Amino acid sequence: MATQAKLSDYGISVGTLPSGPLGKISDVPGVTVGHCTVDTQTQKTGVTVVMPCADDMFAQKLPARCLDDGLWERRYRQLRDYERYLTENGTTVIKFFLHISKEEQRRRFLARIEDKAKNWKFSASDIAERAHWDAYMRAYQQAIDATAVPDAPWYVVPADKKWFARLLISEIVADTLERLGPAYPQVDADKKKALARCRQELLEEEES
């Protein structure tokens, strides 16, 4: 009987963080946790996202041995290893990068400043970061090049026009779902008998 691969098989090491007062994963300082469960009666699955570094990683006091020239290459390798772990265990991974032009960013910033209903979306730090546009573009390109693989591809979506970006993403997701061929679970004879019995019990309950 084949055994399921472990994260350690892909060179991914698991560390520890001090627990909070409640002793739960959602109670660890600096960690953000989200979960969604899908239950189809015959199958139950879900996904849990744990973000152990919600802010600047350099502000999280990583061990000095981690902050060397190989930091980013290790991060990219870890991402590739993790995505390979997911795909080899049946998860389909698709990644989208919504790219807007510098001019479109300028227009959107102005709209957020001029529309009081959108003021909450804008931060003065956005302008400071905008000055590093070229550096951000190089970093994005490097990250995409380093983590784009056939089984976990990146889709760089032109997003100046929101309607076009949404259309393109919808088509990619729809095509992916068609290839996966999802279907409702089949109901066997025993299940049909149980349904009929339960239906009859409910009808009799109403009559009484």
Q: Check residue 154 and give its pLDDT.
A: 95
| Residue 60 reports pLDDT greater than 80 | no
pLDDT in tens, 141-163: 999 999 999 999 999 999 999 99
- Going by pLDDT thresholds of 50, 70 and 90, the confidence category of residue 65 is confident
pLDDT given for residue 192 in this prediction? 94
Tokens encoding 96: 């989208």
Predicted model pTM: 0.61
31 vs 193, residue with greater confidence: 193
pLDDT digits (tens, 9 = 90+) for 114-144: 999 999 988 888 999 999 999 999 999 999 9
Under the banding of pLDDT at 50, 70 and 90, the label for residue 200 is very high
What mean pLDDT is predicted for residues 64-75? 82
Mean pLDDT of the 51-67 span:
63
Lowest-confidence segment of 11-15, 142-146, 147-151, 174-178 by average pLDDT? 11-15
Distance (Å, rounded) from C-alpha 79 to C-alpha 95? Answer: 12
d(CA 106, CA 130): 9
pLDDT at 68: 80
> What is the C-alpha end-to-end distance of the chain, expressed in Å?
53
pLDDT of residue 53 exceeding 80: no
Q: What is the pLDDT of residue 40?
A: 67
Enumerate residues 6+ apart whose C-beta is below 8 A from 198: none
- pLDDT given for residue 169 in this prediction: 95
Asked if 49 contacts 33 with a C-beta cutoff of 8 angstroms, the reply is yes
**pLDDT beyond 60 at 83:** yes
Tell me how far apart the alpha carbons of residues 9 and 167 are, in angstroms, rounded to a whole number.
Answer: 38
Helix (H), strand (E), coil (C) string for the chain: CCCCCCHHHHCCCCCCCCCCCCCCHHHCCCCEEEEEEEECCCCEEEEEEEECCCCCHHHCCCCHHHCCCCHHHHHHHHHHHHHHHHHHCCCCCCEEEEECCHHHHHHHHHHHHHCHHHHHHCCCHHHHHHCCHHHHHHHHHHHHHHHCECCECEEEEECCCHHHHHHHHHHHHHHHHHHHCCCCCCCCHHHHHHHHHHHHHHHHHHHC
pLDDT at 199 over 80: yes
**Sequence ranges of the domains in the chain:** 71-181
The CATH fold assigned to 71-181 is Rossmann fold (3.40.50)
Q: Is the pLDDT of residue 13 over 90?
A: no
**Under a CB-based contact definition with an 8 Å cutoff, are residues 98 and 165 in contact?**
yes
Mean pLDDT, all residues of the chain:
83
